């Protein structure tokens, strides 16, 4: 393994800064995100990025968004499976991180056939991501991170769940979205 490569769950050596769509494996994404916690672990209990992504995709589906937007919601944090998660207040201050994250996400979206999201589609994903963040902090930190409650179409599951169950739920959600595409 070269100094600039990671070894993924499925055994692939890759340089995250030179990632290509054919390097992307959904098993790597589902496994890594199910093992990574939101909010850098500063929550009442373990709550994974994968569980967050599934909740975002379910919200998109419940709002009647297209399978393309649902898939973008499911995969919007997929870059973190290759370059790790960084809390928002830090992420915006790290020179080069946003560009690296976008390069990886572009490869992921291309691999899953959803590259070139429209401004409206990106706004829908961002809106759902932000709403989920609000309700995660409310449920898992007893904290409201803004004055107004954002819209969500349903109650979501923020419970402590086994990692393997969350991973399976992530993969099942992907299969469900692809069936409708």
Instruction: Give the tens place of pLDDT for each residue, 129-138.
Output: 999 999 999 9
Q: How confident is the model at residue 3 (pLDDT cuts 50, 70, 90)?
A: confident
End-to-end CA distance of the chain: 38
List the CATH code of the domain at 6-180.
1.10.3210.10
Q: What is the pLDDT of residue 2?
A: 78
In the chain, where are the structural domains located?
A: 6-180
* 41 token code pair: 């672990």
26 within 8 A of 71, measured Cβ to Cβ? no
CA separation for the pair 91, 30 (Å, rounded): 22
Q: What is the pLDDT of residue 181?
A: 76
149 secondary structure, DSSP code: P
CA separation for the pair 112, 130 (Å, rounded): 23
Alpha carbon distances (Å) from 112 to 4, 20, 86, 158: 25, 12, 24, 27
Single pTM value for the model: 0.96
177 within 8 A of 67, measured Cβ to Cβ? yes
């Amino acid at each position: 393994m070269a100094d600039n490569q990671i070894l993924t769950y499925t055994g692939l050596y890759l340089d995250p800064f030179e990632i290509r769509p054919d390097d992307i494996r959904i098993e790597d994404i589902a496994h890594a995100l199910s093992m990574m916690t939101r909010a850098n672990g500063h929550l009442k209990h373990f709550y994974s990025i994968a569980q967050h992504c599934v909740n975002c995709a379910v919200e998109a589906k419940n709002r009647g968004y297209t399978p393309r937007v649902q898939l973008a919601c499911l995969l919007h944090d997929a870059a973190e499976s290759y370059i790790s998660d960084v809390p928002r207040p830090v992420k915006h201050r790290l020179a080069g991180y946003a560009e690296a994250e976008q390069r990886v996400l572009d490869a992921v979206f291309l691999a899953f056939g959803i590259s070139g999201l429209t401004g409206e589609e990106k706004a829908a994903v961002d809106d759902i991501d932000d709403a989920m963040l609000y309700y995660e902090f409310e449920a898992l930190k007893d904290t409201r991170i803004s004055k107004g409650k954002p819209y969500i179409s349903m109650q979501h599951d923020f419970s402590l769940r086994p990692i393997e169950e969350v991973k399976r739920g992530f993969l099942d959600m992907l299969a469900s979205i692809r069936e409708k595409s």
